[in-house]
Amino acid sequence: MQRQVVLNALLKLNTHPTIEEIYAEIHSDHPSISKTTVYRNLRQLAGGGIIRQVSLPDGLERYDGCAARHYHFHCGECGWIYDVDIEHPMGIDDAVAEKYGFSVEDYDVVFSGVCLKCQSKSERQ
């Protein structure tokens, strides 16, 4: 039940939230669920491939309800995270494995820069 509550909160937020944001969403309706429980369940959901953990330059762990491989864009101005829907370069994991001998199981790509809203705001000022 707790795992489903955590998953539902993540899907409801739909913003690549941090653990703190997910916990805040859950806490009002389920005050008995601790932050540790939220953290543990997020880790298990990510480990099971049900959700994705997104690693960003800000160092905060963020989570994505979409488990399918896709890229992200992180705006350095407002901090927002956008899904980037582009075709994946075929064989990039094989190229890394061949060059370095690694066994690649997964990879994340996060583009960083300034989003369109922040660019517009900057141009108006």
pLDDT: is 84 or 90 the higher one? 84
* Rounded Cα distance, 17 and 4, in Å: 16
Check residue 65 and give its pLDDT: 94
Instruction: Please write the tens of the pLDDT for every residue from 9-44.
Output: 999 998 899 999 999 999 989 999 999 999 999 999
Please report, for residues 26, 49, 52, 65, the alpha-carbon distance to residue 38 in angstroms, rounded to integers and kept in the order given. 9, 17, 15, 15
CA distance linking residue 82 with residue 103, whole number of Å: 29
Average pLDDT over residues 42-60: 89
**Averaged pLDDT of the chain:** 91
Split into its structural domains, the chain has a count of 2
2 with 55, same domain?
Answer: yes
pLDDT of residue 12: 95
CB 33 within 8 A of CB 15: no
60 in Cβ contact with 66 (< 8 Å):
no
Last residue of a domain, one of 67, 82, 97: 67
The reply to whether 99 and 59 lie within a common domain is no
Does one domain contain both 6 and 59?
Answer: yes
Range of the domain at 111: 69-125
CATH number of the domain where residue 104 is located? 3.30.1490.190
- The lowest-confidence range among 64-73, 86-95, 97-106 is 86-95
The predicted model scores a pTM of 0.82
Judgement on whether residues 8 and 47 belong to the same structural domain of the protein: yes
pLDDT on residue 90: 79
Check residue 43 and give its pLDDT: 95
What does DSSP say about strands 71-75 and 110-113: parallel, antiparallel, or unpaired?
A: parallel
How does DSSP assign 4-68, residue by residue? HHHHHHHHHH-S--BHHHHHHHHHTT-TTS-HHHHHHHHHHHHHTTSSEEEE-TT--EEEES--S
User: In 65-115, which ranges are continuous DSSP H helix?
Assistant: 92-100
